[in-house]
Amino acid sequence: MVGRVADRDLPHGDPLLRRLGHEAVRAFRPAHDLADLAEAAAEVQQPVTTGRRIAVVGMRGGSGKSTLSALLALVFARHRQDRVLAVDVDPDWGSLPLRLGVRHRHALADVRAALAGAGSFEDVEPYLTPAAQRLWVLPANRGRLGDSPLTPEIYEQNALPLTRFFGVTVIDCGSGMRGALQQAVLAGAHAVVLATPATPDGARVAGRALDLVAASGLGHLIARTVVVFTVRTPHTRKALDFDGAAAILADVGAGAVRLRYDRHLASTSTLAPGRLAHATRATAVRVAAEALGRAVRP
């Protein structure tokens, strides 16, 4: 079956009192906060001359890359007027379809026959799974034992041509950057979003990741990278000096954003946009805006 997983019983990211508080102070929120968010939303809506591919990567499991991929795909679909594609190329049973609440029938390898004679989006649409208005999902495999592994050749022959039908494509990669598949995704990306824990170790991991990007001959992507420090628990023992980390990343041309703890993200598999914390929604818009802004740079 293809369809959205029910979300009526999922918890809210903000407790009830905080949600009521947000509504109570909406009219009194500082003008510059509203202006910054409106500016970010406008950046997300900017036109593109050709489809932009944004790769979301993490150096290890549990970094939050699939959650971040789902958030970005939902933001682009909500604010843009063209089509958005979310592709899961994680070879280890990726969770992006689950995060977006869809059940799929087709995988990336299935679209090659349709692409061979595709003259329009309607030729390939039957192979995609709708997740929201203007948002479609395509995973690496069908989630069955015995599925053929996704290879760099399948990605290059299927995913890259498919993205021409979309204004923005968000690509959820496997963990790490050394594999041939990850290198193929990065080589075809217009921007990179790097998810890493908001801890001192997470900051060091981000530094190593950017070193690997440079060493692999893709140094131009550093200036097109946004590092998102994800807070996975409300009680972090070793706090990150976010301002210090952001300043170091800025020196090499990369951006930095902090995604704070969200009870909804932490306790559910399927995202319900209406139940996300207010801060999560605002941060997701800012990450999407910065990633797209870097993706369209000459």
The pTM of this model reads 0.88
According to DSSP, the β-strands at 135-138 and 129-132 are antiparallel
Q: Indicate the average pLDDT of the chain.
A: 86
What is the spatial order of strands in the sheet that 191-197 belongs to? 129-132, 135-138, 84-88, 168-175, 52-58, 191-197, 225-230, 255-259
Q: Point out the least confidently predicted range of 144-148, 150-154, 156-160, 254-258.
A: 144-148
pLDDT value at position 191?
98
pLDDT digits (tens, 9 = 90+) for 130-148: 999 999 999 987 655 556 6
The fraction of the chain above a pLDDT of 70, given in percent, is 84
**Average pLDDT over every residue of 194-198:** 95
Amino acid symbol at 58 = G
Predicted local distance difference test score (pLDDT) of residue 15: 56
DSSP string, the chain: --SBPP-TTPPPSS-HHHHHHHHHHGGGS-HHHHHHHHHHHHHHT---SS-EEEEEEESSTTSSHHHHHHHHHHHHHHH-SS-EEEEE--TTT--HHHHTTB--S--GGGGHHHHHT--SHHHHGGGSEEEETTEEEE-SS-S-TTPPPP-HHHIIIIIHHHGGG-SEEEEEEEE-S-SHHHHHHHHT-SEEEEEEESSHHHHHHHHHHHHHHHHTT-GGGGGGEEEEEE--SS--SS---HHHHHHHHHHTT-EEEEE---HHHHH-SS--GGGS-HHHHHHHHHHHHHHHHHHT--
Q: Over the stretch 90-125, which tens digit does the pLDDT of each residue have?
A: 876 668 998 999 988 888 888 888 888 778 999 999
Is residue 4 predicted with pLDDT exceeding 60?
no
Tell me whether residue 130 is exposed, middle or buried, using C-beta atoms within 10 angstroms of its C-beta: 0 to 12, 13 to 18, 19 or more: middle
Looking at residue 236, what is its pLDDT? 66
Position 190 scores a pLDDT of: 98
Query: Top-level CATH class of 49-295?
Result: alpha beta
More confident residue, 277 or 19: 277
Tell me the domain boundaries of the chain.
49-295
Contact 72, 173 (CB under 8 A): no
